[in-house]
Structure 1
Amino acid sequence: MLSRPDILTSADGEAVAVENSAASGAVVLVCEHASRALPVRAGDLGLPAEALESHIAWDPGALAVSRLLSEKLDAVLIHQRFSRLLYDCNRPPESPAAMPDRSEIYDIPGNRDLGVAERYARTAALYVPFHDRISATLAARQAAGLENVVVTVHSFTPVYFGKPRAVEIGILHDTDSRLADGMLKAAEGGPFRVERNAPYGPDDGVTHSLRLHALPYGHLNVMIEVRNDLITESNGQGVVADYLAVLIQTAITGCLKQ
């Protein structure tokens, strides 16, 4: 375990990365589960290589799609540089899912019986800088007179505990469904099976970033989930990004006209 305040060293770099920071488009993209990397001092958390490469460590394809969306929408992109195994930045510190000791079929030995000091150290090193950067970015853009539309990007597994998932793209929202409604309407009759609040929804605790950065300020917002078998390769990533960019832009235009 990492019972020390210096979880990240100079060799690791910062917890958060910002790309296209000077973008003037309305969208701010957030990718909480962009990376499967672990800080040097974390080791492997007692997990085999297959687990560290699997969905429990990150959202495969999510960062690639986010980067393409950043280009297409002239959007700022903010993403976490380390695995959610150490801290899941889409969960608040009080949530057991923030530093789980089990994920799907895997026990996570390095997260077992974490003490208060270690939970605090991980929160300070990973969660706080990530969300502080999002808050600062949104505040600076608003002060500059730019629109803020918060879009978080994730991926999910085609099979979960042995049960296949038919949904291909999930459009998720919390109490503010304006942008999600517009995207779902734009998706009607399209090439993908798109569903509302699937395969997860707000009751599963997955809309933390939206609750933190969008809902209190009235920003248009949505969480996107893409089935990861659709975005394992560059061609699929491009197709999905093209599709999502149209849905997002169509929905924003419709919302701003109201």
Structure 2
Amino acid sequence: MLAETRLLSEADGDPYAIDNPQGRGDVLLVCEHASRLLPASFGSMGLSEEALASHIAWDPGALAVSKLMARRLDATLIHQRFSRLIYDCNRPPDSPGAIRDTSEIYRIPANESLSDAEKAARAKAIYFPFQNRIADEIAERAQRGQATVLVTVHSFTPVYFGTPRAVEIGILHDKDSRLADRMLGAAADTSLYRVERNEPYGPADGVTHTLLLHAEPAGLLNVMIEIRNDLIADEAGQGVAADFLSGLLTEALTQ
């Protein structure tokens, strides 16, 4: 596969990774924007180190929280190994958001004026292996009689286009709100975080793609979690968030 696409070398490795593959819990965690890593062939994509470290390249803290949640819930975690600057795995190939040539205040020179063939090659190298692995995991779990609750984990920047965001944790859903409703109910009395429904993004922004692709057609419980990234910038904050979210999920799934 890597040789065919010519975008990833053997040294780059696979486009996804799996943690705790033998997890016995019902929750299957997915982190689409886990990494800021760029394949060697892409260099810096014409971006500064500041841009490459920012939220346009990845979801800071999301993978660390996901890994902690995987331990607490005995969940399997599938996460992307390359930056969403190459391809955003939470967008289908026909979405303008799959490969952006601008993101917030940043121009992305390496993504400008790409041909359809170049875009298709990125989807083949990054998107399809990642999403196919999620589909295979769900099918394998069903075959061995293990339930699947699909939970995707993201983080968001506290200031976007100069506007501060007050929300601290977003519980997002598309048409199927069953799990989100339960989690929001469980969080109703918390003073730890400001928790809101479908904030700072919602279905109209196209952010529920992975849920729509894998969970809703099969009737699987599902939810997308967004955490403001200043709250998970260090190990202490990551641990608190992981404990809180694992607790919410556990309470919601026992209702």
Letter of the 2:248 partner, please give it: L
Question: Which residue does 2:253 correspond to in 1?
Answer: 252
Q: Deviations over 1:122-170 (max 9, x none)?
A: 0000000000100000100011101100000000011111111010000
Letter of the 2:138 partner, please give it: L
Give me the whole-angstrom Cα distance separating, in 2, the residues matched to 1:253 and 1:149: 13
Question: Which residue does 1:32 correspond to in 2?
Answer: 32
Moved segments of 4+, more than 6 Å: none
Give me the whole-angstrom Cα distance separating, in 1, the residues matched to 2:152 and 2:184: 16
Question: Which residue does 2:76 correspond to in 1?
Answer: 76
Matched, 1:225 2:202: no
How many residues align structurally? 251
TM-score, length-scaled by structure 1: 0.96
Give me the whole-angstrom Cα distance separating, in 1, the residues matched to 2:202 and 2:98: 17
Letter of the 2:53 partner, please give it: E
Q: Any gaps of 5 or more consecutive residues in structure 2?
A: none
Give the root-mean-square deviation of aligned CA atoms. Answer: 0.7
Give me the whole-angstrom Cα distance separating, in 2, the residues matched to 1:252 and 1:199: 24
Question: Which residue does 1:91 correspond to in 2?
Answer: 91
TM-score, length-scaled by structure 2: 0.98
Give me the whole-angstrom Cα distance separating, in 2, the residues matched to 1:236 and 1:184: 21
Q: CA deviation at 1:189?
A: 1.4
Letter of the 2:136 partner, please give it: A
Q: CA deviation at 1:5?
A: 2.7
Equivalences for residues 40-55 of structure 1 within 5 A: 40-55=40-55
Q: Deviations over 1:173-206 (max 9, x none)?
A: 0000000000000001111100000000000000
Identical counterparts, % of pairs: 63
Q: Any gaps of 5 or more consecutive residues in structure 1?
A: none
Question: Which residue does 1:206 correspond to in 2?
Answer: 207
Question: Which residue does 1:61 correspond to in 2?
Answer: 61
Letter of the 1:248 partner, please give it: L
Give me the whole-angstrom Cα distance separating, in 1, the residues matched to 2:49 and 2:61: 19
Question: Which residue does 1:188 correspond to in 2?
Answer: 188
Give me the whole-angstrom Cα distance separating, in 2, the residues matched to 1:85 and 1:252: 35
Q: Deviations over 1:48-80 (max 9, x none)?
A: 110000000000000000000000000000000
Q: Deviations over 1:13-69 (max 9, x none)?
A: 000101100011000000000000000001111111100000000000000000000
Matched, 1:136 2:136: yes
Equivalences for residues 104-143 of structure 1 within 5 A: 104-143=104-143
Give me the whole-angstrom Cα distance separating, in 2, the residues matched to 1:14 and 1:143: 25
Give me the whole-angstrom Cα distance separating, in 1, the residues matched to 2:242 and 2:204: 27
